[in-house]
Amino acid sequence: MFRMVKSRSLLMRCMYAVSIRGFAKATIAQPRHSTTGNMMNAWVTSEFGAPMVKTTMRIPEVSNTKQLLLKVKAASVNPIDTIMRDGYGRTIISLCKQIENQSLAPLSFLPFIGGRDCSAVVEYVGQGVSKFKRGDEVMAVIGPTYAGSHAEYVLARECWCAPKPANISHIEAAALPYVSCTAWTALVSVSCI
């Protein structure tokens, strides 16, 4: 099982830049790869504003050659997780999902799994992944159109992951990615420091 920790504000180099083109489709379906069982536990809400409920669901399927399936060891809780659960960003995220899926119909933001960052072990890599292999310890930022890291498994793009430093725990590593990107954006992109 995974542990959830509250993020602390730490400054480090941002691991990725958000771009609509960088997002890939995350599906919850029967895996095409070997995992320990096909089911996982996740904290899910099926209605905006409703509490998160521990649910058993299928392990996400790697559907893009640049995706990794991560086994979550620790996940942080950020303010964005709670406001997204209440529906924040649902219109733009639905639009991004439509673009990714080349769909004219609106795509649902629900069910929602929170968690925008985590520390994990690589379980499976897509064919186009070159920087990581099965068993590598990583820390990752999870894009907003993806199911989040408040689950036992999560999908991430290769460019959203960085090697976890060996001298910190999974709990410490889970507190770094999202707040680091926020700090980097504030200092470099906005303040031009």
pLDDT digits (tens, 9 = 90+) for 120-174: 999 999 999 999 999 999 999 998 888 999 999 999 999 999 999 999 999 999 9
CATH number at residue 134: 3.90.180.10
The parent domain of residue 165 ranges over: 3-190
CB 146 within 8 A of CB 155: yes
**What is the value of pTM for the model shown?**
0.76
Q: How many domains does the chain have?
A: 1
Say if residue 87 is exposed, middle or buried (CB neighbours under 10 Å; 0-12, 13-18, 19+): middle
CA gap 97, 101 in Å, rounded: 6
Q: What are phi and psi of 181, to 5 degrees?
A: -65, -40
Summarize pLDDT for 76-124 with one digit per residue, the tens: 998 888 888 888 888 888 888 888 778 888 777 788 999 999 999 999 9
